[in-house]
């Protein structure tokens, strides 16, 4: 059976093939028994009476991030904008105390995340962004407390916070933040332009991951348990990254501290 096309007339048609410019909204293939939808901007070539091959596809590239990506990037920016005051002080054995507060933060994150995931279906999807914001605030406080246990609160910047919160999730995006020099490492402070670019990339990465895991929120109880378990694991990874940063970066002198380092008043 011949192919049925809806679109504009062929350009440069000959006996064996015809090229159809945009727009070609849809191509119905009777031989395949289905519908193939071609986005605007596609250039298709018909070769022979029953064969369809794609000569060139020009997919539209958005000029800016999608609305969900912008919302996630905005949440991340709000979270790292302020460094909270630590709730603990420097101790002689920071490793043991860091383990304790990490587990406590992980339990709190799991409880919050599982509770917000309890409503099934569309109602549960409405809690995704509030869930992210609360979890990231819990993790932000955890990072501040881990730095305080080691007596290095004044060194904590928004770049440290960004790296600790998202290193395990988006290592490729953050690969240039920490530069290794032998066995030691240096945290590079980001310019405003570099930070905006990185926030956009993180928004894309986090949104893509959310799209892959959002199906669990449609499953009552079991879905909430899965979401809570992930929040627990995720929070422990944040603590692990913060401790690794402290273990591999040298203690900074007072005159080397970036202007924005240290806790933000009323954060």
Q: Are residues 125 and 209 in the same domain?
A: yes
The reply to whether 223 falls in a domain is: yes
Mean pLDDT across the chain: 74
The reply to whether 266 falls in a domain is: no
The reply to whether 137 falls in a domain is: yes
Assess whether pLDDT exceeds 60 at residue 250. yes
The reply to whether 165 falls in a domain is: yes
Q: Are residues 203 and 162 in the same domain?
A: yes
Q: Are residues 172 and 113 in the same domain?
A: yes
The pLDDT value recorded for residue 181 is 65
Q: Under 8 Å CB-to-CB from 207, ≥6 apart: which residues?
A: 66, 68, 69, 72
The pLDDT value recorded for residue 182 is 62
pLDDT in tens, 45-54: 434 444 333 3
The reply to whether 265 falls in a domain is: no
Between these two residues, 35 and 223, which has the higher pLDDT value? 223
Of 32, 57, 82, the residue that ends a domain is: 57
Give how many domains the chain has, as a whole number.
2
Q: Are residues 52 and 81 in the same domain?
A: no
Pairwise CA distance, residues 189 & 169, whole Å: 20
Pairwise CA distance, residues 212 & 17, whole Å: 41
Residues 132/235, Cβ–Cβ less than 8 Å: no
Between these two residues, 241 and 184, which has the higher pLDDT value? 241
Q: Are residues 122 and 190 in the same domain?
A: yes
Q: Are residues 35 and 79 in the same domain?
A: no
Between these two residues, 164 and 195, which has the higher pLDDT value? 164
Q: Are residues 145 and 173 in the same domain?
A: yes
Q: Are residues 21 and 89 in the same domain?
A: no
Long-range contacts of 3-8 (CB under 8 A, 24+ apart): 3/27, 3/28, 3/29, 3/30, 3/31, 3/46, 3/49, 3/50, 3/52, 4/28, 4/30, 5/46
Residues 109/206, Cβ–Cβ less than 8 Å: no
Domain that holds residue 185: 67-256
The reply to whether 163 falls in a domain is: yes
Q: Are residues 121 and 236 in the same domain?
A: yes
Q: Under 8 Å CB-to-CB from 248, ≥6 apart: which residues?
A: 178, 180, 183, 184, 185
Between these two residues, 195 and 123, which has the higher pLDDT value? 195
The reply to whether 262 falls in a domain is: no
The reply to whether 263 falls in a domain is: no
Q: Are residues 124 and 238 in the same domain?
A: yes
Long-range contacts of 30-39 (CB under 8 A, 24+ apart): 30/1, 30/2, 30/3, 30/4, 31/1, 31/3
Phi/psi for 212 (5° steps) reads -80, -20
Residues 152/246, Cβ–Cβ less than 8 Å: yes
């Amino acid at each position: 059976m011949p192919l049925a096309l809806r679109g504009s007339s062929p350009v440069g048609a000959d006996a064996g093939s015809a090229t159809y410019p945009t727009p070609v909204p849809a191509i119905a293939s009777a031989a395949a028994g289905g519908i193939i939808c071609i986005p605007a901007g596609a250039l298709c070539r018909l070769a022979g009476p029953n064969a369809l091959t794609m000569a060139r596809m020009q997919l539209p590239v958005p000029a800016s991030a999608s609305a969900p990506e912008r919302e996630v990037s905005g949440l991340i920016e709000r979270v790292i904008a302020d460094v909270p005051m630590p709730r603990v002080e420097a101790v002689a054995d920071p490793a043991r105390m860091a383990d304790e507060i990490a587990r406590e933060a992980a339990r709190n994150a799991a409880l919050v995340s599982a509770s917000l995931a309890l409503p099934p279906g569309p109602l549960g999807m409405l809690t995704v962004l509030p869930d992210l914001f609360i979890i990231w605030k819990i993790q932000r406080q955890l990072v501040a407390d881990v730095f305080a246990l080691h007596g290095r609160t004044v060194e904590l910047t928004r770049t440290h916070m960004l790296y600790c919160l998202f290193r395990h999730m988006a290592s490729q995006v953050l690969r240039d933040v920490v530069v290794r020099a032998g066995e030691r490492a240096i945290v590079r402070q980001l310019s405003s332009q570099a930070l905006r670019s990185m926030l956009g990339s993180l928004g894309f990465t986090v949104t893509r991951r959310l799209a892959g895991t959002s199906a669990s929120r449609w499953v009552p109880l079991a879905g909430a348990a899965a979401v809570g378990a992930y929040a627990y694991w995720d929070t422990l990874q944040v603590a692990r990254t913060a401790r690794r940063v402290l273990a591999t970066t040298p203690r900074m002198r007072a005159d080397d501290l970036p202007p924005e380092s240290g806790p933000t008043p009323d954060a």
